[in-house]
Chains A and B, each alone.
Chain A
Amino acid sequence: GQQVQQSPASLVLQEGENAELQCNFSTSLNSMQWFYQRPGGSLVSLFYNPSGTKHSGRLTSTTVIKERRSSLHISSSQTTDSGTYLCALAPLTEGADRLTFGKGTQLIIQP
């Protein structure tokens, strides 16, 4: 079955609202990463966060291993935050040498 599930599939917010993106996984975790994909294609790494909480500006990533979930919080969203957010994990055992990606959350921030 699918190891990584992201929710929601899409999210539309007004500028200034906060966004909460979820990533749930069904396997023991070695690493967890969050990426941002600009409209038009290229991926940019946001966080490497296998456990705990990390902050970067308006972004916060929290990974709770026991609950098998990771979240990405965007505070005071801006129109430039629009795009697709992808989580990816490397499992602890089989397949540990590669990342498995979720299908992403498409975020649209309206002015």
Chain B
Amino acid sequence: EAAVTQSPRNKVTVTGGNVTLSCRQTNSHNYMYWYRQDTGHGLRLIHYSYGAGNLQIGDVPDGYKATRTTQEDFFLLLELASPSQTSLYFCASSDELGGNQDTQYFGPGTRLLVL
């Protein structure tokens, strides 16, 4: 079964702080995704990647950067965190693009609180 891990699981920071969320998948999937989940909005795509060195902009990218350093590792960077970025963040991976012919496998999530 696909394995996607995220760290940290919980993070508290202050407004203006610098935060990096990490995601690792160990199934040689090509595609990785970062989502945020908020009450009333559901899951929204922030950034995604086709492979190492590649970055694609999602639906809610403002205030976020991302970097895919290897096939396994995908990072989400908040360089000037704001309270509006308080959310539950999920990383996911898939072998095929989007939802085509394959499911996405999700990590356990990271709860971020920006004070």
Contacts and interface: CB of A to CB of B under 8 A. Distances in A.
A30 interface: yes
B106 A42 contact: yes
Interface stretch (A12-20, A58-66, A71-79, A83-91): A83-91
Given A86-B42, A98-B58, A101-B43, A33 B98 contact: no
Given A31-B99, A96-B100, A97-B97, A42 B40 contact: no
A100 to B, nearest CB: 8
Contact of A103 (B33, B42, B107): B42
Given A48-B103, A86-B43, A99 B108 contact: no
Interface of B: 33, 40-45, 48, 56, 58-59, 88, 90, 92, 97-109, 111
Interface residues of A, number: 23
20 contacts: A30-B98, A30-B99, A31-B100, A32-B99, A41-B88, A41-B109, A42-B107, A42-B108, A43-B90, A43-B92, A44-B106, A45-B103, A48-B103, A90-B98, A96-B97, A97-B56, A97-B97, A99-B99, A103-B41, A104-B42
A104 B43 CA distance: 9
